[in-house]
Amino acid sequence: MSLQIYIDGKMYPKEDAKISVFDHGLLYGDGVFEGMRSYNSTVFRMSEHLDRLYESAQALHLTIPMSTQEMDAAVYQTLKVNNIVDGYIRLIVTRGVGNLGLDPYQCPTASVIIIADKITLYPAKYYQDGLEIVTASTIRNHPAALNPRIKSLNYLNNILAKMEGLKAGCIEALMLNAKGEVAECTGDNIFLVKNGILLTPPIDAGILAGITRRAVIDLARESGMQVHETNLSRHDVYIADECFLTGSAAEVIPVIKVDDRKIGDGTVGQTTKSMMVKFKALVGQ
């Protein structure tokens, strides 16, 4: 059976799942989204994802035409229709259909799209051997221009940095903020381990407040590890004992080289391995 896509209360086969060319999500990137994971038929931290989705929409003065309870039910309906137990959910809210021009008030009703499918963001070998990444020259959007806490449909900032990474032979790239501080990678949050302390950039460094990021911080603290959300430079990355990335799709993935510099001894560290195991246990895998 063809993959079924939820669009505004109805299911459509993948090949028939279409939106209008006048949808402002397409025309201007005007909308918000969430990427979520389903483990054993349960969406990981659904309430946190929905809170962030609705807060992002509120910041854009975008009214989502259904309650969080209805959205929750629609997500599970989409998983069930597609017989997905362990998978990935892309939840999208666009401004909806309007006229040409930036005026969002020309769009009377927002559109809700839910895609549930299988996903493998990184090949298995990278979880065992670690990633090599580079620092992109493209900086994160300035928070005063577009707050990174809004998970918007406009991902050009990240895509440009991703292209830099790919051209350098790396499937991920590190992004700095306007101050030259470490922010995040193109699709993941970043963590360092130094002298047994877990370090990660604070929210005000211009990063997305990742759901998996928060889960890892909680797991580390529960295990007795010190966690500091603090401003970091590339120097801190280069001299770190370990480095790993987190994200809904990526989960927890090690990094063993940044800008051609080995992190620690150039192999996956014990703390990173421990966090990978703890996260798998948390999600029941």
**Residues with catalytic function:** 151
SS (H, E, C) the chain: CCCEEEECCEEEEHHHCCCCCCEHHHHHCCEEEEEEEEECCEECCHHHHHHHHHHHHHHCCCCCCCCHHHHHHHHHHHHHHCCCCCEEEEEEEECCECCCCCCHHHCCCCEEEEEEECCCCCCHHHHHHCEEEEECCCCCCCCCCCCCCCCECCCHHHHHHHHHHHHCCCCCEEEECCCCCEEEECCCEEEEEECCEEEECCHHHCCCCCHHHHHHHHHHHHCCCCEEECCCCHHHHHCCCEEEEEECCCEEEEEEEECCEECCCCCCCHHHHHHHHHHHHHCCC
d(CA 136, CA 187): 13
Q: Which residue, chain included where needed, has tokens 């493998």? A: 120
